[in-house]
A and B are shown apart, each in its own frame.
Chain A
Amino acid sequence: MASMPAPALEISGLEKTYAGGTRALNGVSLTIQKGDFFALLGPNGAGKTTLIGIIVGLVNKTGGTVTIFGTDARNEPEKTRAHIGLVPQNVNLDFFGKVIDIVVNQGGYYGIPRSIATSRAEEILKGLGLFEKRFDAVRTLSGGMQRRVMIARALIHDPQFLVLDEPTAGVDVELRRSMWDYLTGLTKRGVTILLTTHYLEEAEQLAKRVAIINKGEIVVNGTMEEVLALHDDSSAGNGGYRGSKLEEVFIKLTQDKP
């Protein structure tokens, strides 16, 4: 009998307290199976970006374990980082650099020879509609294009696990939909995706599994159907407004109780 493949991500009892004493994560446990499209949702300051920071190695945890494809991220950080591609929340591009150079250089940091990285970068940029802009300086691009450059940069080493921290923030609807199509295509190729977003309809359409984090703790974790089943059809939204089912569940689980 074939053994089960290791999960893409396995987090256990993860804790993070910042130097100033702020407790951002309070014993978070989470498992994302290989090939999942997983949405991590939560209000501002819930701990999403801290959690992602720990997964990719930009934030040092104060407790717990993080395992990527069966490898402990603390013991073998170089091995686990090789599997991950990160699209951060804030644009962190070298604004004086050209699009193609930024993507190819990123390949270099993963040990990909320049000639291979260049042809791979051109292919990815074509897929993201940026090929014509490849010799443009990043500072001349629109915000939406800069976000796509960050996606291209995250994909250059062909990661098995893509982490997207609000990749569509500030992106217009048309572009957002084309990014959804692109990301869905990646999951069909077996790439595992962890997405954080404030666009709940985006999560509802894309993700198969979802977790909601609030005040550093996971308040719900399951398939999209399981989470949507928590919706109370009799409830009315604020001022009579009714959002999507996921939005209603989100508000119910994250709002401060009196």
Chain B
Amino acid sequence: MTPYQKWISFYTMLRKDVVRMTRIWPQTFLPSVVTSALYFLIFGAFLGSKIGEVHGVPYVMFVVPGLVMLAVVTNAYMNTSFTMFMSKFFARNIDEILVSPTPAWVIVAGYVAGGLVRGIAIGSLVLVVSLFFTNLIVSHALVIVLFLVLTSLVFSLAGFVNGVYAKSIDGINIVPTFVLTPLVYLGGVFYSAQSLPGLWGSLTRFDPVFYIINGFRYGFLGVSDVPIMVSVGVLVALAVLFTAISIYLIKVGLGLRQ
């Protein structure tokens, strides 16, 4: 295939997924927006005034970056894990792509781009919703964009790996429920690691989501529990790792080719 033909194949996969996710927007976009609005309501109007300030800003403003990341992480992950699993397990229409000359890396890029788009779209929507509850400080706009894109990419790739490996519908639900959600909640969505006692503060640093949330928060508030370059490094390392695994899985056909 020529580079232009590869681009068409990639665009076809992305277009198909974007059409799908917009067609079923009450399932793909609405839930995160509603859930986030509830979080903002609870932590802004109800609890925020009692908690006071964190890092010198109102509590609701402090939790906005974390809640945006919560939505981005889960949506990017679920998008690719679900579409990959459905296309290989139910209709088996993944074969449409596997029999085509589309190279493995383009297949990965096509699937992952769908998750990337959904992650960025959801993140942007939740940010817009947050404006109804608090004013946002933007300290480093480029950092915000960088973390939104990199986080969507990493978790879209992770979801792709999960979707390829999963042998049942439980296989794509277990990781988000029992791994992703605890990692996000314990990664500092609702608190600063500085406020955690010794051991817990140390354990949090083994959670990759901690670095992601802190990096994203740095873009807004200009403060972070860890150096920003460490956060970027963790995201880039995870992106490289999951990209390599994804391409390998498609090349050998694990779970896809008999």
Check A84–B99 contact: CB distance below 8 A. Answer: yes
Residue in B9, B101, B257 whose CB lies within 8 Å of A58: B257
User: Known: A111-B1, A111-B4, A111-B6. Contact between A58 and B258, CB under 8 A?
Assistant: yes
Residue in B4, B11, B258 whose CB lies within 8 Å of A108: B11
Residue in A57, A77, A79, A92 whose CB lies within 8 Å of B91: A92
Check A110–B9 contact: CB distance below 8 A. Answer: yes
Contact with A along B2-24 (1 / 0, CB 8 A): 10111011011101100010000
Beta-carbon contacts under 8 Å, A74-97 to B: 77-79, 81-82, 84, 86, 88, 90, 92-96
Check A60–B99 contact: CB distance below 8 A. Answer: no
Residue in A50, A82, A88 whose CB lies within 8 Å of B95: A88
Which of B4, B11, B20, B96 has the largest count of A CB atoms less than 10 A from its CB? B96
Task: Please name all residues of chain B whose beta carbon is closer than 8 Å to the beta carbon of A11 when the two chains form the complex.
Answer: none
Check A60–B8 contact: CB distance below 8 A. Answer: no
Contact with A along B74-118 (1 / 0, CB 8 A): 000000000000010001110111111111000000000000000
Residue in A59, A79, A111 whose CB lies within 8 Å of B257: A59
User: Known: A110-B5, A111-B4, A111-B5. Contact between A92 and B96, CB under 8 A?
Assistant: yes
Task: Please name all residues of chain A whose beta carbon is closer than 8 Å to the beta carbon of B20 when the two chains form the complex.
Answer: 96
Q: How many angstroms from the CA of A110 to the CA of B13 in the assembled complex? A: 12
Q: Is B253 an interface residue (CB 8 A)?
A: yes
Check A108–B9 contact: CB distance below 8 A. Answer: yes
Check A86–B99 contact: CB distance below 8 A. Answer: yes
Q: Is A105 an interface residue (CB 8 A)?
A: yes
Q: Which residue of A lies closest to B87 (CB)?
A: A94
Query: How many chain A residues touch the partner (CB < 8 A)?
Result: 33
Task: Please name all residues of chain B whose beta carbon is closer than 8 Å to the beta carbon of A106 when the two chains form the complex.
Answer: 96, 100
Q: Is A53 an interface residue (CB 8 A)?
A: yes
Check A111–B91 contact: CB distance below 8 A. Answer: no
Task: Please name all residues of chain A whose beta carbon is closer than 8 Å to the beta carbon of B15 when the two chains form the complex.
Answer: 108
Beta-carbon contacts under 8 Å, A28-69 to B: 50, 53, 56-60
Task: Please name all residues of chain A whose beta carbon is closer than 8 Å to the beta carbon of B13 when the two chains form the complex.
Answer: 108-109
Check A113–B8 contact: CB distance below 8 A. Answer: yes
Check B100–A110 contact: CB distance below 8 A. Answer: yes
Q: How many angstroms from the CA of A153 to the CA of B100 in the assembled complex? A: 11
Check A58–B1 contact: CB distance below 8 A. Answer: no
Check B258–A81 contact: CB distance below 8 A. Answer: no
Q: Which residue of A lies closest to B94 (CB)?
A: A92
Check A53–B258 contact: CB distance below 8 A. Answer: yes
Q: How many angstroms from the CA of A101 to the CA of B16 in the assembled complex? A: 9
Check B95–A93 contact: CB distance below 8 A. Answer: no
User: Known: A56-B99, A78-B1. Contact between A109 and B93, CB under 8 A?
Assistant: no
Q: A58-B95, A59-B258, A109-B12 are in contact. List 20 more A-B contacts (CB 8 A).
A: A50-B258, A57-B257, A58-B257, A78-B102, A78-B103, A86-B95, A92-B93, A94-B93, A105-B16, A105-B96, A106-B100, A108-B11, A108-B12, A109-B96, A110-B101, A111-B6, A111-B9, A112-B5, A112-B8, A153-B96
25 contacts between A and B (CB under 8 A): A18-B258, A50-B258, A57-B98, A58-B257, A59-B258, A77-B101, A81-B99, A84-B99, A86-B95, A92-B92, A96-B20, A101-B16, A108-B8, A108-B12, A108-B13, A108-B15, A109-B9, A109-B12, A110-B5, A110-B100, A111-B1, A111-B2, A111-B4, A111-B9, A153-B96
Contacts from A to B (Cβ < 8 Å):
18, 50, 53, 56-60, 77-79, 81-82, 84, 86, 88, 90, 92-96, 101, 105-106, 108-114, 153
Ranked nearest first, the 5 interchain pairs of A and B with the lowest CB-CB distance are A111-B5, A108-B12, A109-B100, A78-B101, A92-B92
